[in-house]
Amino acid sequence: MRFLILILIIGGIVWYFFLRKSPKKPKNNHEAELMLECCECGTYVSSKEAISYNDKYFCSKKCLLKNKKG
Ligand SMILES: [Zn+2]
């Protein structure tokens, strides 16, 4: 019976580490799918490529500079 308890403890440790690792992946995928509208030209860009400035999002540095000037 000691052997059975040992398997349960090892299984629990493996399950614990597997559960800790798994929530990271869906979060990254969700961020990649998020699309943001450029405040200057209205082009939709992914949150990874978008440039955020003063709670506004821009598709490129060009649009950011345009918005700052205008
Ligand atoms: Zn733009």
pLDDT of residue 48: 87
Statement: residue 38 has pLDDT above 80: yes
What's the predicted TM-score (pTM) here?
A: 0.53
Q: Where exactly are the structural domains of the chain?
A: 1-32, 34-70
Task: Return all residues near 50 (Cβ < 8 A) that are at least 6 apart.
Answer: 36, 38, 57, 58, 59
- 47 token code pair: 């949150």
Confidence of residue 28 (pLDDT cuts 50, 70, 90): low
Residues by chain with Cβ below 5 Å of ion ligand 1? 38, 40-41, 43, 59, 63
| Cβ count within 10 A of residue 50 | 20
How would you classify the pairing of strands 44-46 and 35-37?
antiparallel
CA of 31 to the centre of ligand 1 (A): 20
| Cβ count within 10 A of residue 40 | 19
